[in-house]
Structure 1
Amino acid sequence: MLAKTAPDVRPDRSLGTAPSQSNAPLPVTVASSRRDVLNALRLVHDSYCDAGLIEPNESGCRVLPQHTLPTTDILVALCRGEVASTLSLVRDSHFGVPLESVFPEFIEQRRLAGVPFAEVSCLADRRSDRHRSGGLLSSLMAFTAQFAVQTGVDELMITVHPRHAKFYQRRLGFEMLCDDVRNYGAVRGNPAVLLMLDLPALQAMASPAHRRLFVEQVFGLHAMQRPPYSDALAAELAWLAGEQSPEWTGRIEPTGLDEEPVILPFEPQRQLAG
């Protein structure tokens, strides 16, 4: 088990006013620093625990085996310099993608057809009020779509609770891939539906979803660069993933550590005034 050496750095959800509705994009980027990466994964852990989707763990981070690979990027939306929303863009690899444990046939179809795809996973937001957090989510999804296109992804796949599906369909242009509602074991058997966003098709049409994702906010290529993780951070992620997914033992690359790492304290997120 992980030693409890890290401070309790729970993300503060008490963000104040809603972000500006101007056309200037909110700061969104690919997390690369230890602070941003771990704060993003702590945010996912706490949000999922609050929603009853997972049991808490001692590290306070939600780390998938795919997070140990360079094919997965952690994207973060920032509010006053703090991680306010996050998601993970998981491209296909020898570890596969998380949702294929629930909808394997749809992933296999894309592999056989040679379609470049990625899963949108580990989506979390610091604010419980979905109306106030809508601006950050829209910015994060716009960045995700543009980043996916720049990295050669044609289709974005996501599993959501059935009651959230219409938001993704109406606002972001996702399509339901099947009518099945399946139980997702990794989140305590909660119901899930499978959605897909065809990026080339969306770019070819003048739709509200196209405007939201590709026109209203345009992100520079500099924000889409992610230097490799430091060796120390890569080792931490590999250790955490192995602890949380023991069935993957032997498949996650060795960390080079002979014993459990000491998870050093990292700078907590500031209290944000209203």
Structure 2
Amino acid sequence: MAKAAPHSVSASARKFLHQGVRKLFAPAPRPLRFAVYRSFVDCDPAPAANLVLKIAETREELEACFGLLHDAYVNAGFMQPDPSGMRVTLYHALPTTTTLCAKIDGQVVGTISLIRESVFGFPLQAIFDLHQVREVGGNIAEVSALAVHPDFRKTGGAILFPLMKFMFTYCATYFDTRHIVIAVNPNRIEMYESLLFFERLRATPVERYDFANGAPAVGASLDLYAAPQLFKHVYGPKRQRKNLHSYFMELELPNIQLPRRRYFTTNDPVMTPELLDYFFNQKTPGFERLDARKKALLHTIYNLPEYLPVLPGMAPTAEAGAVHPLRAHPRFSLKCPAELRLERAEDTEIHTLDVIEISSGGFQAHCASALPQQLWAGVWVHLGEGEKSTVRAMVVRAKDGFFGFKIESPDAVWQRCVRVLESGTTHAHAIL
């Protein structure tokens, strides 16, 4: 059990005061209500040194996060108690999901999960319309599975605000995410709207959100590209402890341990075969419950021999193979600069690329200018710190500024990068 926060008595009184003020101003006009909510902000620019924010990557950290989430969801009526004492979903098995945690003196006291879009999508897209968000462009991630230990819920955001700052920084800088989306209880949506400028995806709440045991939910989104100006406009003039623009966008918290990556990857997979087996076969029947299609999709994601023994078995049905045949080469998400040089008789064309996905046989990139197809060109790709690859590549497909390339005889740097990514390890110490 975590130790109670040192200021829990005064913080508890402050919480009751805030609840009373919220009820008092509930009938007030929306701008006034939002001003009241913002007046409650108290973000400490120098949290205690024993607070650490990091990616949950060990079995102990993940189990603590899933246990904390289980208790929070059970107490809120969002799920029935599970024999494992954990809330573990299929999304937690994916390499495109990252679980963040807050630890005090080594014990997990807060967690939040970030689910980037994949072949499984993400939970809320089944019931909320994301058409307008998609029209803007950019990657989308769902912020989910937020829980704070009961002993730290009355501390004026001492855990929540640092965890949210970590989430903002990670999404914008490391997760290659432009839009974050949420599905929250209707009585909490105004906190996200007033403090963090989320915009609702629908005008009315969804009556049943199956991902949270049928609880009502409201969907909302935030454009991280637009957020800095919104925060600056509202919070810029405020003093430091109430200035969320300074806190989220400018302040550097030494408590945050950002991942050290060898390559310019955009996710931090932690689910080794051993961890997948522990959480989805031993502690819960998570894999056993999957239908044939989801089992097939899971096999396309972990298309490596070492994962096969722990993945759910697939019946040899025509449906599973027809829906999603295995790719010849697994693809990996990155965000790295590149330069294409096309030698012509009269001159040399040089184009700047943003590579977003690679495999052993090709890559996908964005380019602001049109690129010719079916012509070989030299491409210099900056895959990571001190990791530059030179390959011959040809555009084989193009759509809306995105180009698919096949490559000829990848060099040693490219091959080494693919081997590292195939191993499921993206950290700086990965050596293969």
**TM class by smaller structure:** 0.7 to 0.9
Residue of structure 1 in register with 2:198 after alignment: 174
Between the aligned partners of 1:192 and 1:128, the Cα distance in structure 2 is 26
Answering whether residue 252 of structure 2 is matched by residue 252 of structure 1, we say no
Residue of structure 2 in register with 1:17 after alignment: 6
Question: Does the Cα contact within 8 Å between 2:93 and 2:271 map onto a contact in 1?
Answer: no
Between the aligned partners of 1:198 and 1:88, the Cα distance in structure 2 is 18
The Cα RMSD (Å) is 2.9
Structure 1 residues 119 and 218: CA distance shift in structure 2, 3 A: same
Residue of structure 2 in register with 1:229 after alignment: 271
Q: State, as a whole percentage, how many aligned pairs show the same letter.
A: 29
Between the aligned partners of 1:173 and 1:258, the Cα distance in structure 2 is 42
Between the aligned partners of 1:94 and 1:194, the Cα distance in structure 2 is 21
Residue of structure 1 in register with 2:342 after alignment: none
Structure 1 residues 21 and 141: CA distance shift in structure 2, 3 A: closer
Between the aligned partners of 2:80 and 2:288, the Cα distance in structure 1 is 11
SS of corresponding position for 2:277:
helix
Question: Does the Cα contact within 8 Å between 2:4 and 2:151 map onto a contact in 1?
Answer: no
SS of corresponding position for 2:82:
coil
Question: Does the Cα contact within 8 Å between 2:119 and 2:297 map onto a contact in 1?
Answer: no
Residue of structure 1 in register with 2:141 after alignment: 118
Residue of structure 1 in register with 2:286 after alignment: 242
Deviation at 1:176?
A: 2.1
Match of 1:153 among 161, 177, 180: 177
Deviation at 1:215?
A: 2.8
Q: TM-score if structure 2 supplies the norm length?
A: 0.51
Structure 1 residues 224 and 168: CA distance shift in structure 2, 3 A: farther
Structure 1 residues 50 and 145: CA distance shift in structure 2, 3 A: same
Match of 1:68 among 54, 72, 93: 93
Match of 1:43 among 47, 58, 68: 68
Question: Does the Cα contact within 8 Å between 1:40 and 1:76 map onto a contact in 2?
Answer: yes
Q: Which has the larger radius of gyration?
A: 2
Between the aligned partners of 1:188 and 1:246, the Cα distance in structure 2 is 18
Structure 1 residues 13 and 53: CA distance shift in structure 2, 3 A: farther
Between the aligned partners of 1:91 and 1:259, the Cα distance in structure 2 is 21
Residue of structure 1 in register with 2:247 after alignment: 212
* Cα deviation 1:49-77 (Å, max 9, x = unaligned): 11111012222221111111110000001
Deviation at 1:245?
A: 4.8
Larger mean Cα displacement after TM superposition, 212-221 or 55-64: 212-221
Question: Does the Cα contact within 8 Å between 1:125 and 1:133 map onto a contact in 2?
Answer: no
Between the aligned partners of 1:157 and 1:39, the Cα distance in structure 2 is 25
**Higher strand residue share:** 2
Between the aligned partners of 2:169 and 2:94, the Cα distance in structure 1 is 21
Question: Does the Cα contact within 8 Å between 2:143 and 2:180 map onto a contact in 1?
Answer: yes
Structure 1 residues 21 and 198: CA distance shift in structure 2, 3 A: closer
* Cα deviation 1:192-232 (Å, max 9, x = unaligned): 00121211111234143433322345468852344643331
Larger mean Cα displacement after TM superposition, 244-253 or 86-95: 244-253
- Residue-pair matches, total: 247
* Cα deviation 1:162-203 (Å, max 9, x = unaligned): 111121122223222321200202222211001212111112
Between the aligned partners of 2:215 and 2:187, the Cα distance in structure 1 is 12
Between the aligned partners of 1:50 and 1:168, the Cα distance in structure 2 is 21
Query: Aligned partner of 1:214: which letter?
Result: M
Query: Aligned partner of 1:102: which letter?
Result: I
Give runs of aligned pairs for residues 133-152 of structure 1, distance below 5 A.
134-150=157-173, 151-152=175-176
Unaligned segments of structure 2, at least 5 residues: 9-41, 236-243, 261-267, 313-432
Question: Does the Cα contact within 8 Å between 1:29 and 1:76 map onto a contact in 2?
Answer: yes
SS of corresponding position for 1:29:
strand
Q: TM-score if structure 1 supplies the norm length?
A: 0.78
Structure 1 residues 258 and 173: CA distance shift in structure 2, 3 A: closer
Deviation at 1:256?
A: 3.5
Structure 1 residues 127 and 161: CA distance shift in structure 2, 3 A: same
Structure 1 residues 56 and 148: CA distance shift in structure 2, 3 A: same
Structure 1 residues 213 and 252: CA distance shift in structure 2, 3 A: same
Question: Does the Cα contact within 8 Å between 1:116 and 1:154 map onto a contact in 2?
Answer: yes
Between the aligned partners of 1:234 and 1:33, the Cα distance in structure 2 is 12
